[in-house]
Amino acid sequence: MSAPPLDRAAPPDESALLRQFDATIAAGHRIEPRDWMPEGYRKTLIRQIAQHAHSEIIGMQPEGDWLLAAPSLRRKAILLAKVQDEAGHGMYLYAAAETLGADRADLTDKLIEGRQKYSSIFNYPTLTYADVGVIGWLVDGAAICNQVPLCRSSYGPYARAMIRVCKEESFHQRQGYELLLTMMRGTPEQRAMVQDAVDRWWWPSLMMFGPPDDDSPNSARSMAWGIKRHSNDELRQRYVDMSVPQAEILGVTLPDPDLAYDAETGHYRFGAIDWDELKRVISGNGPANAERIARRRSARDDNAWVIEAATAYAVKHTEVAAR
Ligand SMILES: [Fe+2]
Ligand SMILES: [Fe+2]
């Protein structure tokens, strides 16, 4: 199916533009920043990309807390590289939001003022070094399930950013799993530490896929627009199916007595998720929400002089070059 050619000489006709937009989506082609797009599509994308960018930046905090306490130089180097990657992911994503006309500083203000959200998972504290491993294995694992289909998202800059992000996420997951395998081969105390971290992170990681499909009002629209490729419940199931065999190899127990393989469907069945907990954490009442936002606020305020200085330098540099 190919899009009908637009008559460039004619005044813009919204219905013709919409037809071309719909045809581009239906053909599986990308929408690019120069293309006309419905306002709802632009707004939905800005909201989703901003929320994603904020998650990458806030997500640096729980693991960043362990940078000075990493148990060896090797672990410190790995963790430092991982946390820096997350900063990079945030930057690609803010840049993708800018192609839609959003302003990066404005998005940060909205995050700090609680007008835009970030992933609920980063509102849980990291209590031991095993949490670093479990975040890599489960949280980055869930992020991979969510993000691989976004490499085929209908908006070009978002889809392209996701390709590199996903490559880095797979390194993140492997470093976490390798850390956990090492700890599981260690002392009984280390094994108990891993099990405790798995007990605390398993259910919140299932919540990362968002509310169930019958309580996710915007999902259908996002799927019709090709922004989203699979429903929340489909992705959650994929994540459970992927994680259970990995838990077995690791030798940990996932904290769900209802978890069982269903030979008929070929999927693992799992217990009921506490959606009230997700609502509580998303609405700002998780264990670390206030701390995460306070730290992001002081990073913005304390480092404002760097942006001012860099901007003044860039202006001066452009003026000198123009002489
Ligand atoms: Fe990331
Ligand atoms: Fe990551």
Give me ligand 2 centre to Cα 74, in Å: 18
Q: What is the pLDDT of residues 255-268, one digit of tens each?
A: 999 999 999 999 99
Nearest CA to 89 out of 168, 144, 146, 153 is that of 168
Whether residue 176 contacts residue 133, with contact meaning beta carbons closer than 8 Å, is answered with yes
pLDDT exceeds cutoff 60 at 271: yes
pLDDT of residue 30: 96
Give me ligand 2 centre to Cα 35, in Å: 31
CA torsion angle for 201, 205, 210, 211 (degrees, to 10)? -60
pLDDT of residue 1: 45
What the block records as the tokens of 234 is 């489909």
What the block records as the tokens of 256 is 């769900």
Looking up tokens 């599986």 gives 28
Give me ligand 1 centre to Cα 146, in Å: 11
CA distance 78 to 229: 32
Give me ligand 1 centre to Cα 85, in Å: 7
Whether residue 272 contacts residue 257, with contact meaning beta carbons closer than 8 Å, is answered with no
Q: Across residues 37-54, what is the average pLDDT?
A: 96
pLDDT of residue 6: 53
User: What band does 11 get if pLDDT is binned at 50, 70 and 90?
Assistant: low
pLDDT exceeds cutoff 80 at 10: no
Give me ligand 2 centre to Cα 61, in Å: 12
Nearest CA to 61 out of 91, 82, 92 is that of 82
- Provide the mean pLDDT of the chain: 94
Give me ligand 1 centre to Cα 166, in Å: 8
pLDDT exceeds cutoff 70 at 3: no
Q: What is the pLDDT of residues 156-187, one digit of tens each?
A: 999 999 999 999 999 999 999 999 999 999 99
Find the ligand nearest to 172 CA: 2
Looking up tokens 């504290």 gives 125
CA distance 112 to 55: 12
Find the ligand nearest to 62 CA: 2
pLDDT exceeds cutoff 80 at 8: no
User: What band does 9 get if pLDDT is binned at 50, 70 and 90?
Assistant: low
Give me ligand 2 centre to Cα 157, in Å: 19
Find the ligand nearest to 91 CA: 1
Give me ligand 1 centre to Cα 87, in Å: 8
Which amino acid is present at 318? T
CA distance 94 to 305: 20
- Full-model pTM: 0.91
